[in-house]
Amino acid sequence: MANVTDSVSIFAEGTFEEQIQELLTYLARNRPEEERAAFISPFQNALRSEEGKKPLDQDEPRRKLIISKLLEEVKGLGEGTDKEIEGFFNLLFAHVFSLYPADSPEVRKYLSYLLKTISSSPDRLAVKYRVISNLFNATPRNSPLRLLIYQTILDLATSRDELDVLELSKSNVEKWLSEWDITEEEKASFLKSIVDAYSKADEPTTAYEYSLLYIKYLPPSSDAAKTASLDAIASALRLPTVFDFDPLFKLDAVVSIKDHELFSLLQVFLNNGLAEFNTWQSQHSGVLEKYNIPAAELERKIRLLTLASLAFKHVGKNLPYSSIAEALEVNPSDVEKWVIDVIRAGLVWGKLSQTTQSLHITRATSRTFEQEQWQALEKRLVAWKTGLAGILDVVAAAKRQAGQVAA
């Protein structure tokens, strides 16, 4: 596997012996002065190449033993400035990677210990993030260790309610999952931890977006996939800013629960209107309460989606208030309120006219894009092409006439 990293080498200058002495000096700060010599002495003896011994730079087993013993003495961040702490751990990580292959069990064992030690140390949050981020960037991009490392960062941020510090993006997560040499189960577990983190942080919209990605990595027929699919459907219906339900229908796990009552409700919101929603609600008493979905919010959503579908069929035209009132089953006096709401939701663009009692529609969002929508788009393009051709004919005729006058 290619050893591709996001950063340059983090080795300090100096020989192995000098670098180990640096690390020991830092660790000794935590000890009373009278104990420091006794602490350092065994390491100095191990570093010394006596007669008959291989030189240290040729004796890998001895270097490994020294590092393993030194790691045992790391009990926390230590007593130093942020810069000193960062330098200490950078150097320590570099020695671990220099002595063992990145995919070796020894590296996983040592890094797991260090990550636990760093994250569980009190305070110094800023330097903790930097130290662990340095390790993440120094690890090969395809290494499974990146999962372990970033999971530690995520857990640390979640425990402190500081998810915004991570500036996590879905595109980055998808990129990492494509690079990391981990199983589908591990990918799903990582995504579930992100969903849970944003749910805990009371950011349900972001949690929902990651849940769609999480479901992709689950076996469609598994119990976990069914549970996640139902949660995602309920979240999509519950969230006031979610109007695009088409991504759910592209997930095999969601389609596999097509006999569930929530799936039939989801179909109403993808394809139908208020009448179909009212029929569904009358036939499924108690379902909305079971999944904590406010009926009033759903009524608002289905009206906005109904208006968006109606507007999509009248792009470039005037839509009478009376037609809107009939479709939404509201009083004509309430039409403007609903139009303003649908524009704010980003589903329709247009201009109200009280004089003509109509909405001139310039653009509208389709709830799904299939053959019917493609055909409507084709008709509009043909009409625009014809209109442009007519304008070009008029311009050409005007040019000819101007030329004749000039002559």
| Count: domains in the chain | 2
Is residue 384 one of the residues assigned to a domain? yes
Is residue 110 one of the residues assigned to a domain? yes
Domain final residue pick, 92, 117, 138? 138
Is residue 115 one of the residues assigned to a domain? yes
Is residue 68 one of the residues assigned to a domain? yes
Taking Cα atoms as reference points, which of 323, 292, 298, 294 lies closest to residue 243? Answer: 298
Is residue 106 one of the residues assigned to a domain? yes
Q: 69: domain range?
A: 1-138
Residue 373 — pLDDT band, cuts 50, 70, 90? very low
Residue 331 — pLDDT band, cuts 50, 70, 90? very high
More confident residue, 368 or 309: 309
Residue 384 — pLDDT band, cuts 50, 70, 90? low
Residue 386 — pLDDT band, cuts 50, 70, 90? low
Distance in angstroms (rounded) separating the CA atoms of residues 8 and 127: 19
The pairing of strands 318-320 and 348-353 is unpaired
* pLDDT in the model for residue 122: 87
Range 214-237 average pLDDT: 96
> Mind spelling out the 3-state secondary structure of the chain?
CCCCCCCCCCCCCCCHHHHHHHHHHHHHCCCCHHHHHHHHHHHHHHHCCCCCCCCHHHCHHHHHHHHHHHHHCCCCCCCCCHHHHHHHHHHHHHHHHHHCCCCCHHHHHHHHHHHHHHHHCCCCHHHHHHHHHHHHHHCCCCCCHHHHHHHHHHHHHHHCCCHHHHCCCHHHHHHHHHHCCCCHHHHHHHHHHHHHHHHHCCCHHHHHHHHHHHHHCCCCCCHHHHHHHHHHHHHHHHCCCCCCCHHHHCCHHHHCCCCCHHHHHHHHHHHCCHHHHHHHHHHCCCHHHHCCCCHHHHHHHHHHHHHHHHHHCCCCCEEEHHHHHHHHCCCHHHHHHHHHHHHHCCCEEEEEECCCCEEEEEEECCCCCCHHHHHHHHHHHHHHHHHHHHHHHHHHHHHHHHHHHHC
Write out pLDDT tens, residues 177-213: 999 999 999 999 999 999 999 999 999 999 999 999 9
Residue 147 — pLDDT band, cuts 50, 70, 90? very high
**Whether pLDDT at 309 is above 50:** yes
Q: Number of C-alpha atoms within 13 angstroms, CB side, residue 162?
A: 12
Is residue 30 one of the residues assigned to a domain? yes
Distance in angstroms (rounded) separating the CA atoms of residues 256 and 118: 43
Range 213-238 average pLDDT: 96
Write out pLDDT tens, residues 13-39: 788 999 999 999 999 988 888 888 889
Residue 221 — pLDDT band, cuts 50, 70, 90? very high
Write out pLDDT tens, residues 109-135: 999 999 999 999 988 999 999 999 999
Percent of the chain with pLDDT over 90: 76
Range 43-48 average pLDDT: 88
Q: What average pLDDT is seen over the chain?
A: 89
Is residue 202 one of the residues assigned to a domain? no
Residue 383 — pLDDT band, cuts 50, 70, 90? low
Domain final residue pick, 138, 154, 189? 138
Is residue 6 one of the residues assigned to a domain? yes
Write out pLDDT tens, residues 60-69: 999 999 999 9
**pTM (global) more than 0.85:** no
Q: Which of 263-267, 362-366, 390-394 comes out lowest in average pLDDT?
A: 390-394
Domain final residue pick, 138, 160, 195? 138
